[in-house]
Amino acid sequence: MLRPALKRASYILALILMFLIGAELQSNGFIEEMLGYQEDVVYLTGQHIELVAISGGIAILIAIPLGVLLSRPGLAHIAETAMQGLNIGTTIPTLAILALSMSLLGIGTLPAVFGLCVASLLPIVRNTYTGLLEVPAHLREAAAGIGMTARQMLLQVEIPNALFVMFAGIRTALAINVGTVPLAFLIGGGGLGELIFTGIDLDEPVMMLAGAIPTALLAIVVDLLIAMLAFLIVPKGVNPLR
Amino acid sequence: MIKIDNLTKIFDTPNGPVTAADNIQMEIPQGEICVLLGPSGCGKTTTLKMINRIIPPTSGRVFINGEDTSGLDTVDLRRNIGYVIQQIGLFPNMTIEENITAVPRLLGWDVNRYKARATELLEMVALDPAVFLKRYPKELSGGQQQRIGVARALAADPPVMLMDEPFGAIDPINREVIQDEFLKMQQELKKTIMFVSHDIDEAVKMANRIAIFRDGRLVQYDTPDDLLAHPKDSFVESFVGDDRALKRLRLVNVAQVMESPAPCVTPQDSLETALQQMEEHGYSHAITLVNQQQQPIGFVSKQVAQTTKGYCGEHYVGLKGLANINDDLRKIASLMFTHDSTWMPCVDDSGRLVGHISQRGITHYLGATYRRDGRQAAPYNLKLA
Ligand SMILES: Nc1ncnc2c1ncn2[C@@H]1O[C@H](COP(=O)(O)OP(=O)(O)O)[C@@H](O)[C@H]1O
Ligand SMILES: [Mg+2]
């Protein structure tokens, strides 16, 4: 019974703190200074979102079919090896991936999208693959037994039952993606990284924060968005959130 | 009708080949329930799953209504066979309605038709459509899920059903209830059913025929009564149990064993008449007393009739027990033991006296099949003595 009370108290405390910080920032002119970057922030945020959307979208479009493919019984003999390979892939730092991507494709948006895509591929493939393998064998047997084709079984039984796990993968992937996008600036990809890194270079903390705060907010918004989608899309019968 | 012709399955395992089904040969007549029975690992499931090709046979063929199924498309074949698995296997992502209508939807029925069918099926398995159609499987009890599993298999009205220990996951009380409901449904639906069980009592209750398996071989294929009366070898004998004679009681109902018409007296008859009747029919203990509607209300004992004068209505004793003609003998035997009586009046559904059943009659009926077969009779009688 202590927990809800504690939670409420911490909310109130956080609100008071936020109010105090806001008041302080207002009084020392920080907010005004920050508003000076408004135009840049809006433009770069757009670019930033575009990078996330394109690279994340492509990653999802590639990773899900790949995960599905690897989960098919016909590919069982190479699936584990492929997953091991992808696992090793994750240990490469995202910055290194971007660098490699640049050495391959030069500078600009294309290598940035490519690098981001590769960096966010794995969690989706892995969760799609394991989610599908975790669908109980007796459900597959029941589906086959009532005369579903392999395709019907995949779409009507296997994917819906793996969907929650798949969404968890997408959520992780986009978290990595959003976190890596600022680095895309380093290979000429644009985005809010421009404000952050330039701010650091010029020793202008306000400029840096003008990039960092929207980046952080964006990460939170994207995460909430995915959580909401998962809540809505995963069928009620297999959705632990409902 | 299902005909299984020389069906064999050999699994290749790391420890060498395992023959799970060895030249199985059997025929299940139209509209009957055949129970595949045997200890765990004897090949029941393998045999069953070769019918709808969940397990592809190593050799041999399956005919359904005379048609060789190896020529049919696997998906078509399965859509025409109802399939109930032990784990129930309802799709958790679908509502009960979606689960039940899975096959009709695969077959391309239109919406109104399959929705109506879902309602009809839920009523058939004794669940309220208004409550259950929109629920998800996890919101149902085990017994309710099992009913839905059966409803799903019945949805497109397939002539043949395969059921692998369908009631295995339910507690004993609910299992009896579901078995009874299922038998009642089967009386109307007349499906040809192959049913796997490892429980002899379930088999005796459900089956028209029982197939006993051992180590991948079909050892005996008989009606429950024949199986219990004449187990083919010591394996079958030990599998059906020491109390196999008692199990047979369940297979016979009162109407088959009772002696009728039954002599009786009315309250207006004198005790003298009662005594006369008893001597005429050779009753050594008592005679039934009925009211004007021919309903038994008690009995007049011979001792009283011999020593007293008067009318039956003044000197009778209340009934000890009553047998309905549809009761099985197990219930009657139990009643007789409880009331320490050797006979009982039998009534029809309107409660009118139609006959008498006696312990001697029951023993005689069961004994008839044993006497038919001299080899069996001797050890059986010895056991009783
Ligand atoms: N997929 C399989 N691979 C190898 N052996 C199997 C397989 N399925 C069943 N078996 C073996 O075949 C035999 C019969 O199994 P099963 O038909 O499941 O028995 P039951 O249903 O009577 O318990 C067992 O010895 C079992 O170990
Ligand atoms: Mg089995």
- Does the pLDDT at position B68 exceed 90? yes
Select the residue from B48, B69, B91 to test the A interface by mutation, using most A Cβ atoms within 10 A.
Answer: B91
B85: helix, coil or strand? coil
- A56-71 pLDDT, tens digit per residue, is 999 999 999 999 999 9
Ligand 1 pocket, residues with Cβ under 6 angstroms = B 11, 13, 18, 20, 38, 40-46
Residue whose entry in the numeric block shows the structure tokens 């290979």:
A187
Note the ligand closest to the C-alpha atom of B15.
Answer: 1
Q: To the nearest whole number, what is the mean pLDDT of chain B?
A: 91
Residue B253 has a CB neighbour count (10 Å cut-off) of: 18
> Rounded distance, CA A167 to CA A128, Å?
9
Q: To the nearest whole number, what is the mean pLDDT of chain A?
A: 91
B 99-138 residues with CB < 8 A to A: 102-103, 106, 136-138
- A8-19 pLDDT, tens digit per residue, is 889 999 989 988
Quick one: pLDDT at residue B382? 38
Interface touch B102/A145, C-beta < 8 Å = no
Quick one: pLDDT at residue A86? 85
- A101-115 pLDDT, tens digit per residue, is 999 999 999 999 999
Residue nearest to atom 8 of ligand 1 (CA): B46
Note the ligand closest to the C-alpha atom of B40.
Answer: 1
Where does chain B show beta strands of DSSP type E? 2-13, 16-28, 33-37, 59-64, 67-68, 81-84, 160-164, 192-197, 209-214, 217-222, 264-265, 286-290, 296-301, 317-318, 323-324, 343-347, 353-358
Q: Percentage of chain B with pLDDT > 70? A: 96
In the beta sheet, which residues pair with residue B317?
A: B299
> Rounded distance, CA A76 to CA B235, Å?
42
What size, in residues, is chain B? 385
Interface touch A156/B91, C-beta < 8 Å = yes
Nearest to A138 among B80, B87, B103 (CB): B87
Pocket test for ligand 1, best of B8, B22, B40, B46 (most atoms within 8 A of CB): B46
- B11-43 pLDDT, tens digit per residue, is 999 999 999 999 999 999 999 999 999 999 999
Quick one: pLDDT at residue A67? 96
Interface touch B75/A149, C-beta < 8 Å = yes
CA B117, distance to chain mean position in Å, is 27
Give the nearest chain B residue to A162 (CA atoms): B93
| Chain A residues with CB-CB distance to B103 below 8 A | 146-147
pTM over 0.80: yes
| Chain B residues with CB-CB distance to A156 below 8 A | 91, 94, 102
Q: Which amino acid appears at position B208 of this protein?
A: N
Note the ligand closest to the C-alpha atom of B168.
Answer: 2
- Does the pLDDT at position B132 exceed 50? yes
- A73-97 pLDDT, tens digit per residue, is 999 899 999 998 888 888 888 889 8
- B343-384 pLDDT, tens digit per residue, is 899 999 999 999 999 988 888 888 876 665 544 443 433 333
Nearest to B208 by CA among B187, B235, B238, B234: B187
Looking at 3.40.640.10, 1.10.3720.10, 3.10.580.10, 1.10.357.10, the CATH number of the domain A36-238 comes to: 1.10.3720.10
A138 at B interface, C-beta within 8 A = yes
Cis ω on the peptide bond leading into residue A240 (within 30° of 0)?
no
Confirm if B124 and B151 have CB atoms less than 8 A apart: yes
Nearest to B44 by CA among B202, B154, B172, B181: B202
Residue B137 has a CB neighbour count (10 Å cut-off) of: 21
Residue A64 has a CB neighbour count (10 Å cut-off) of: 18
Confirm if B88 and B169 have CB atoms less than 8 A apart: yes
Please, what are the domains in chain B?
2-243 (3.40.50.300), 254-367 (3.10.580.10)
Interface touch B92/A238, C-beta < 8 Å = yes
Pocket test for ligand 1, best of B9, B11, B49, B55 (most atoms within 8 A of CB): B11
- B197-252 pLDDT, tens digit per residue, is 999 999 999 999 999 999 999 999 999 999 999 999 999 999 998 888 888 898 88
